[in-house]
Amino acid sequence: MSTATTADASQGIRVRTSVVDPATAVARARPHVSIGETVSQTFSMAWRALKKMRRNPEQFFDVTLQPLLFTAMFAYIFGGAISGKVSSYLPLLIPGIVAQTVLTTCMSTGVQLREDMEKGVFDRFKALPIARIAPLAGPMMADLVRYLIAASLTFVMGVIIGYRPGGGALGVLGAIVLAIFTGWSIAWIFTFIGTLARNARSVQGISMLILFPLTFLSNAFVPVSTLPRALADFVKVNPVSHLVSASRDLANLGVISGEVGWTVLAGLVVIAIFAPLSVYSYKRHI
Amino acid sequence: MTTAASVYAQGLVKKFGELRAVDGIDLEVRQGEIFGVLGPNGAGKTTMLKMLATLLPIDAGQARVFGVDVAREPHRVRQLLGVTGQYASVDEDLTATENLWLFGRLQGLRSADARAIANQLLAQFGLEEAANKPISQFSGGMRRRLDLAASLITKPPLIFLDEPTTGLDPRTRGQMWDTIRGLVADGCTILLTTQYLDEADQLADRIAVIDHGRKVAEGTPDELKTSVGNSTLQLELAPGADHDLAQQVVWRVVGREPVLTPESGRMNVPLETADAAGDVLIGLRRAGVPIGAVSVAKPTLDEVFLTLTGHDTGDADEQGEAARDESYLEVR
């Protein structure tokens, strides 16, 4: 490329850039984005999201404070009532809190996407010849860091107040990986809401409405046997219950149970439905 | 393929509910020219540009960029053009270098190449010193330059500029004009929108005037200006003066009807040369028409509009607000 520049304030800025010949450019223009390009573009978008996270550390408040606070709070408030003493409640509670914090983190994925989409830079993303899924999947990849922090911190806090996972380090690691995967897949639901809603606040509102029943109408904090029949039936089919049970099996017993299978399956189903829906909705709103 | 127009559009329509923001526009931009789309706020300029840039679906009509159909092959069209919007579309949370690097990576450049091009563009646009500063510290002119630089990473043969100098001070605006001329000298085709007649005049080879989503005139800047006269004599008659007589005198002297402005007692007389102003004034004196105030000015966009559409730009502006609100909703 031949390039010469004269930057002179009084004359303005002269830019010399040899331009691609239109015929060549047309011949070179490809009709579709390849899978390889899509992956690379998603990684570039993830890089952008990570940079933003590092520059706005207040974004980490929810994934750091919430696990610490909720673990201690729930343990000391409900521990005695539900399990007799705090230490025997912890094996029940910690996997529940992991599921809860990971779900809350999902919600902020949607909220932040909505906020981001209002910025001018999204106009450019739309005008660039890039895969439509990249601006959505990129930030979600970066959010894996947040799920990792949220899940790990919950276990750390648990251990500090007396939790001794029977599944050992490997079991806990398995539970964390499962929580991250589930969080990531469920985040597609909130990404979809993010592309639909009018603004970030309404994303928050709608998400809360979905999130609260899902987390509290599960076995996350109480044994299912204590619930009335109708409620128990819902709790048993709630995917959050499966995640919680699977995490308990992994962290407390070191067992990869059928619950793990159900959780992974539910995650895959959610991705299969909501990833295409999100891309479709994002495209339509361009 | 080389003979295909850079931009070809026929019967382009965009509806926002009841409002036809773009109402059947035909357009042909030749290769290597600067084509100006002139119109007031809300005339449909930006909407039209967005449709051509694949950012809004086309409701009716068709558009091609270098022969490639915009509606059918949007991904190919996006590879052929760079878009610089009205509001800087760069990432506020990243530095200038990071922005350009990201856009380069997204368009398939290797990391090292993306960095090299970023540095090169920053140098060309006089932004090296600010390369690692957050965009929030950039002035309006610097943002526009960075925005334009971001559109040039892959050296697209066609560039859309949406009101490239709105809100810039005169000096920065002059710099932007030079930059745009430089791009054309290197073989780019440019489609730009503007609300300023002087900008279209300075830059554009050809101009289309858009109003209420319709093209009301098209031609070279000279053709457009002669349609309203090269200068305008603005007359304010003294109270009690005979308006009909004044109009007759004007008609006799310059052979054109004066354009009456909404303020009573004022009229604009289009002139071939500023000299003719003297003839009109002498004619009025001889006919005994008393004059309150007088000035001679170059035709303004308002006058072009008044002449071409019979209403001034403010009228279109109100509808424009509605149109923008609609398009705002549409983006949600």
Domains of chain B (ranges, CATH numbers): 7-225 (3.40.50.300), 230-298 (3.30.70.980)
Q: Which domain holds residue A236?
A: 35-284
User: Does residue A163 fall inside a structural domain?
Assistant: yes
Residue B323 is predicted with a pLDDT of 39
> Are the C-beta atoms of residues B90 and A121 closer than 8 Å to each other?
yes
Residue B261 scores a pLDDT above 90: no
Please compute the mean of the pLDDT values over residues A271-282 and round it to a whole number. 93
Q: How far is CA B149 from CA B136, B144, B176, B326, in A?
A: 17, 8, 12, 30
Most B CBs within 10 Å, among A6, A128, A132, A193, to test the B interface: A128
Q: Which of B89, B108, B156 sits opposite A121 (nearest CB)?
A: B89
Contact B107 A128 (CB under 8 A): yes
**Beta-carbon contacts of residue B89 (< 8 Å; ≥ 6 apart):** A120, A121, A122, A123, A124, A127, B83, B147, B150
Q: Is the CB of residue A81 less than 8 Å away from at least one CB of chain B? A: no
User: Does residue A146 fall inside a structural domain?
Assistant: yes
Return the minimum-mean-pLDDT range out of B85-94, B281-290, B300-309: B300-309
Most A CBs within 10 Å, among B91, B158, B188, to test the A interface: B91
pLDDT tier at B221 (50, 70, 90 boundaries)?
confident
**A 190-209 residues with CB < 8 A to B:** 198-199
User: Does residue A24 fall inside a structural domain?
Assistant: no
Q: Is the CB of residue A15 less than 8 Å away from at least one CB of chain B? A: yes
Please compute the mean of the pLDDT values over residues A55-67 and round it to a whole number. 84
Q: What is the per-residue burial (b if ≥16 Cβ within 10 Å, else e) of B133-146? A: eebeebeebbbbbb
B323 Cα to chain A: minimum distance (Å): 17
Contacts of B162 in chain A (CB under 8 A): none
**Beta-carbon contacts of residue A24 (< 8 Å; ≥ 6 apart):** none
User: Does residue A115 fall inside a structural domain?
Assistant: yes
Contacts of A40 in chain B (CB under 8 A): 105, 108
Q: How many CB pairs under 8 A join A and B?
A: 170
- For a pLDDT cut of 70, what percent of chain B falls above it? 88
Most B CBs within 10 Å, among A21, A123, A130, to test the B interface: A123
Q: Is the CB of residue A16 less than 8 Å away from at least one CB of chain B? A: yes
Q: Which of B66, B78, B183 sits opposite A26 (nearest CB)?
A: B66
**Cα B257 from Cα B247, distance rounded (Å):** 7
**Cβ atoms within 10 A of the Cβ of A252, count?**
21
Residue B237 scores a pLDDT above 50: yes
B150 Cα to chain A: minimum distance (Å): 9
Q: Is the CB of residue A178 less than 8 Å away from at least one CB of chain B? A: no
- For a pLDDT cut of 90, what percent of chain B falls above it? 35
In tens, the pLDDT along B152-182 reads 998 899 999 998 888 888 888 888 898 899 8
Most A CBs within 10 Å, among B87, B99, B124, to test the A interface: B124
pLDDT tier at A3 (50, 70, 90 boundaries)?
very low
Please compute the mean of the pLDDT values over residues B110-115 and round it to a whole number. 93
**Beta-carbon contacts of residue B223 (< 8 Å; ≥ 6 apart):** none
Please compute the mean of the pLDDT values over residues A55-64 and round it to a whole number. 84
Give the total residue count for chain B. 332
Contact A18 B155 (CB under 8 A): yes
Query: CA triplet A134, A140, A146: central angle to 5 degrees?
Result: 155
Look at strands B206-211 and B214-219 and give their pairing: antiparallel
Residue B118 scores a pLDDT above 50: yes
CA atoms within 13 A on the CB side of A150: 31
Residue B59 scores a pLDDT above 60: yes
Contacts of A13 in chain B (CB under 8 A): 124-126, 145, 175, 178-179
The more confident residue out of B300 and A41 is: A41
Contacts of A286 in chain B (CB under 8 A): 55-56, 331
Three-state SS at B238: coil
**A 137-176 residues with CB < 8 A to B:** none
Spatial CA neighbour of A244 closest among A261, A220, A217: A220
Domain count across chain A:
1
pLDDT tier at B234 (50, 70, 90 boundaries)?
confident
- R_g (Cα) of chain B, nearest Å: 23
Please compute the mean of the pLDDT values over residues A63-92 and round it to a whole number. 86
A27 Cα to chain B: minimum distance (Å): 9
Q: Which of A19, A40, A119 sits opposite B187 (nearest CB)?
A: A19
Residue B313 is predicted with a pLDDT of 54
Residue A13 is predicted with a pLDDT of 58
Q: Is the CB of residue A228 less than 8 Å away from at least one CB of chain B? A: no
Contacts of A3 in chain B (CB under 8 A): 120, 124
Return the minimum-mean-pLDDT range out of A190-194, B9-13, B167-171, B264-268: B264-268
Q: Which of B67, B106, B155 sits opposite A130 (nearest CB)?
A: B106
Contact B55 A52 (CB under 8 A): no
**Cα B160 from Cα B148, distance rounded (Å):** 10
Contact A55 B93 (CB under 8 A): yes
| B257: amino acid identity, one letter | E
Backbone angles phi, psi at B71, to 5 degrees: -75, -35
User: Does residue A157 fall inside a structural domain?
Assistant: yes
| A270: amino acid identity, one letter | V
**Cβ atoms within 10 A of the Cβ of B295, count?**
10
- R_g (Cα) of chain A, nearest Å: 23
Average pLDDT, chain A: 86
In B193-275, alpha helices (H): 197-203, 221-228, 243-254
Please compute the mean of the pLDDT values over residues A38-57 and round it to a whole number. 92
Query: Exposed, middle or buried, B304 (CB in 10 Å: 0-12/13-18/19+)?
Result: buried
Q: Which of B31, B75, B124 sits opposite A15 (nearest CB)?
A: B124
**Cα A85 from Cα A120, distance rounded (Å):** 54
Contact A124 B331 (CB under 8 A): no
Residue B321 is predicted with a pLDDT of 40
CA atoms within 13 A on the CB side of B282: 7
> Are the C-beta atoms of residues B16 and B328 closer than 8 Å to each other?
no
In tens, the pLDDT along B4-42 reads 889 999 999 999 888 889 999 999 999 999 999 988 888
**Cα A204 from Cα A87, distance rounded (Å):** 35
User: Does residue A1 fall inside a structural domain?
Assistant: no
Q: Which of A29, A40, A125 sits opposite B80 (nearest CB)?
A: A29
Contact B75 A123 (CB under 8 A): no
**Cα A96 from Cα A106, distance rounded (Å):** 16
Backbone angles phi, psi at B101, to 5 degrees: -60, -45
**Cα A151 from Cα B284, distance rounded (Å):** 88
Average pLDDT, chain B: 84
Token representation of residue A69: 């606070």
Name the pTM for this structure. Answer: 0.79
Residue B88 is predicted with a pLDDT of 66
A186 Cα to chain B: minimum distance (Å): 23
Q: Which of B31, B79, B158 sits opposite A129 (nearest CB)?
A: B79
Residue A10 is predicted with a pLDDT of 40
In tens, the pLDDT along B188-205 reads 999 999 888 888 888 999
Please compute the mean of the pLDDT values over residues B122-143 and round it to a whole number. 87
Strands (DSSP E) contained in chain B are 7-16, 19-29, 34-38, 60-65, 68-69, 81-84, 158-162, 189-194, 206-211, 214-219, 231-237, 259-260, 266-271, 291-297
Contact A19 B186 (CB under 8 A): yes
Please compute the mean of the pLDDT values over residues B298-304 and round it to a whole number. 66
